[in-house]
């Protein structure tokens, strides 16, 4: 806590009092890129000073000549409430304004470099006006959390040795009050009433929210943010979002947040050219401009920017009890030549294409988060072969807990899109993932990116007639949930949404009245149950000992067999995938050590809208070699289906 003795000067006759929360250590760490709780100092803070209630404001604008606060409280006059610049050349402007309380709308009026006049929102505000309005709102973060049990035990839920099944959600379009009105939203409270029991019913262990950080443009899906310390006001205030997280935690569901430290938009009220200069972004546009997204890249070499970003990441874990951050667009951060042709980028000091400052930032970010919150996970969305993404920094890695397995996603979808007639010739594409799986701690994503921009919904990626499409998709999900690694499924995929995702409308929930879609939903529900209940599917999901190919020789028939293994031999599972629409009776499988096996999952079950005609109520086992306990199992394989034996 800061002491009131740090007041430099108070003149109660003036509209702004010269008051500070910063110590010399705060300033030093801020400038050195080592201050990771700036949200406790910057922004607006409601408090009482010398018996007067009001709000303290602090903003970093190092090249400004004057900074004013304007808002409803002074009729939006530009020059009545001027902040004081610190004399330590930190570039921080601050001051206490008496009688300004919670809920005041405001902006900073900045006299910037070369006389440029700017009106900016507060980079550290916790609450903003709902778009298209762009001002910040004075607000506190008081909340009485009720998720004690979850927070005490979440290390077990978030561990790499526990089931980790993620439901990816875009809050605006998961469910709306009116499916025809893109301007109406459920509140955070209404979302909690609907989403929490649904996720619980489906058996997902975690939800991942596409960016909830404040953003001006709906069409950016949240990935072009202006409020790095504020949940979006589209659905309510910060305490309302805390309630949503609280409800999920009390239902035993973890919360991951998409977080975007890679770039930001050029909206006039945002971070771009904040004080008339390139304050937050690189000045050299070979590093500072993002050609893919028409946005600007943070200057990771600047200590103040690094402190800002790591404070933001830490803020969501500290204040909002996030169980982890999925860091977006890591590839673009690491590479100076990302989406740039020759001549559009400059090599680093060693002649390479790595952004050394971004690499250092990422390492410090992960070290800080795991130091302060050892029971969370950070997850990288990174699509290249950059080594050691999810390896500890002391082992020359970047320090993430997991990495999205983009190669698996693309190869798997390419395989399943194929007519089953040609699958026997493409088995290498299917099995290739295990060649590099142990390089990282991988999460298998079937994310929002795969069901937009003409890529078609999951169900229509599948070949064949209507029945075959559903059978193929159930088979794909069976493969996903029995493949090593954590899982992520985008909303709507669980019941075979028939249209591409549209952020302007809600999911087509009416599809669930059809047996085919209801069966798909039930299949995913049972796969989550299988994943959570079978230790062989999660205990060693990132270890070589947890997986073994059993049979890859039946290429012509496109039947693939592998084993998943837990810490106890009795927990071992055999997974058999029949990739063609041909029923195969009396199929022989080699098994060692155990004679008695039972079928515990069949994706062709009638309850999933399968045929239900081919199953294994009893599995015949013939002893081949007593010394090695080698058995031949005789099983029946339904068409386009996966079965799991224990």
Q: Is 337 labeled as catalytic in the residue annotation?
A: no
Q: Is 25 labeled as catalytic in the residue annotation?
A: no
Whether 195 and 207 have beta carbons less than 8 Å apart is answered as yes
Whether 474 and 641 have beta carbons less than 8 Å apart is answered as yes
**Angle between the N-to-C axes of helices 24-32 and 303-318, in degrees from 0 to 180, rounded to the nearest 10:** 100
Burial of 617 (0-12, 13-18, 19+ CB in 10 A): exposed
Whether 121 and 269 have beta carbons less than 8 Å apart is answered as yes
Burial of 248 (0-12, 13-18, 19+ CB in 10 A): buried
Strand 105-111 to 136-137 pairing: antiparallel
Residue in 328, 440, 539, 599 annotated catalytic: 328
**b/e burial code for range 283-316 (CB count within 10 A of at least 16 → b):** eeeebbbbeebebbbbbbbbbbbbbbbbbbbbbb
Residue in 168, 323, 381, 411 annotated catalytic: 381
**b/e burial code for range 200-229 (CB count within 10 A of at least 16 → b):** eebbbbbbbbbbbbbbbeeebbbbbbbbbb
DSSP symbol at 618: S
C-alpha 337: how far from its chain's center? 25
Structure tokens of 2? 């800061």
Nearest of 473, 607, 449, 538 to residue 165 by alpha carbon = 538
Beta carbons within 10 angstroms of residue 484's beta carbon: 22
Q: Where are the beta strands (DSSP E) in 251-294?
A: 254-259, 289-290
Whether 638 and 604 have beta carbons less than 8 Å apart is answered as yes
DSSP 29-67: HHHHT----GGGTSEEEEEEETTEEEEEEEEE-TT-SEE
Active site residues: 328, 381
């Amino acid at each position: 806590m800061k002491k009131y003795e740090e007041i430099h000067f108070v003149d109660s006759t003036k509209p702004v009092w010269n008051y500070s929360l910063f110590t010399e250590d705060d300033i030093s760490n801020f400038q050195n890129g080592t201050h990771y709780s700036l949200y406790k100092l910057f922004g607006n803070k409601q408090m009482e000073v010398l018996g007067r209630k009001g709000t303290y404001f602090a903003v970093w604008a190092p090249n400004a000549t004057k900074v004013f606060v304007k808002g409803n409280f002074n009729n939006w006059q530009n020059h009545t409430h001027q902040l004081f610049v610190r004399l330590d050349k930190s570039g921080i402007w601050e001051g206490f304004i008496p009688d300004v309380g919670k809920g005041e709308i405001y902006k900073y009026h900045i006299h910037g470099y070369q006389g440029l006049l700017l009106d900016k929102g507060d980079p550290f505000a916790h609450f903003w006006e709902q778009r298209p309005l762009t001002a910040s709102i004075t607000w506190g973060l008081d909340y009485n959390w009720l998720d004690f049990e979850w927070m005490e035990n979440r290390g077990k839920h978030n561990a790499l040795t526990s089931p980790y099944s993620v439901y990816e959600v875009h809050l605006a379009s998961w469910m709306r009050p009116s499916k025809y009105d893109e301007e109406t939203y459920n509140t955070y409270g209404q979302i909690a009433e609907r989403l929490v029991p649904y996720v619980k019913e489906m058996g997902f262990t975690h939800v991942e929210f596409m960016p909830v950080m404040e953003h001006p443009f709906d069409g950016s899906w949240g990935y072009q943010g202006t409020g790095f310390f504020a949940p979006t006001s589209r659905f309510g205030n910060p305490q309302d979002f805390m309630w949503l997280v609280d409800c999920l935690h009390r239902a035993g569901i973890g919360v991951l947040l998409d977080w975007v430290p890679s770039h930001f938009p050029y909206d006039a009220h945002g971070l771009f050219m904040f004080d008339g200069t390139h304050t937050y972004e690189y000045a050299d546009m070979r590093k500072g401009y993002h050609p893919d997204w028409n946005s600007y890249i943070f200057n990771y070499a600047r200590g103040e920017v690094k402190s800002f970003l790591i404070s933001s990441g830490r803020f969501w874990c500290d204040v909002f009890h996030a169980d982890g951050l999925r860091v977006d667009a890591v590839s673009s951060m690491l590479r100076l030549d990302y989406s740039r042709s020759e001549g559009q980028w400059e090599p680093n000091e060693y002649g390479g294409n790595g952004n050394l400052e971004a690499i250092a930032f990422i390492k410090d970010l992960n070290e800080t988060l795991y130091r302060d919150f050892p029971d969370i996970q950070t997850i990288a969305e990174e699509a290249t072969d950059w080594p050691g993404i999810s390896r500890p920094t002391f082992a020359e890695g970047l320090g993430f807990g997991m990495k999205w397995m983009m190669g698996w996603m693309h190869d798997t979808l390419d395989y399943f899109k194929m007519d089953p007639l040609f699958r026997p010739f493409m088995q290498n594409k299917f099995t290739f993932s295990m060649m590099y799986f142990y390089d990282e701690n991988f999460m298998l994503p079937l994310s929002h990116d795969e069901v937009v921009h003409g890529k078609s919904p999951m169900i229509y990626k599948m070949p064949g007639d209507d029945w075959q499409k559903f059978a193929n998709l159930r088979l794909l999900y069976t493969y996903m949930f029995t493949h090593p690694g954590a899982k992520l499924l985008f909303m709507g995929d669980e019941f075979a949404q028939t249209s591409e995702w549209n952020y302007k409308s809600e999911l087509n929930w009416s599809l669930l009245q059809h047996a085919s879609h209801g069966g798909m939903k039930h299949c995913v529900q049972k796969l989550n149950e299988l994943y959570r209940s079978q230790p062989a599917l999660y205990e060693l999901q990132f270890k070589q000992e947890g997986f073994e190919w059993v049979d890859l020789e039946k290429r012509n028939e496109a039947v693939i067999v592998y084993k998943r293994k837990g810490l106890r031999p009795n927990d071992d599972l055999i997974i058999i995938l029949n990739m063609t629409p041909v029923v195969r009776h009396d199929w022989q499988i080699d098994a060692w050590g155990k004679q008695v096996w039972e079928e515990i999952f069949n994706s062709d079950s009638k309850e999933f809208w399968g045929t239900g005609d081919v199953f294994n109520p009893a599995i015949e086992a013939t002893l081949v070699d007593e010394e090695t306990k080698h058995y031949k199992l005789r099983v029946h394989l339904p068409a386009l289906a996966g079965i799991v034996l224990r």
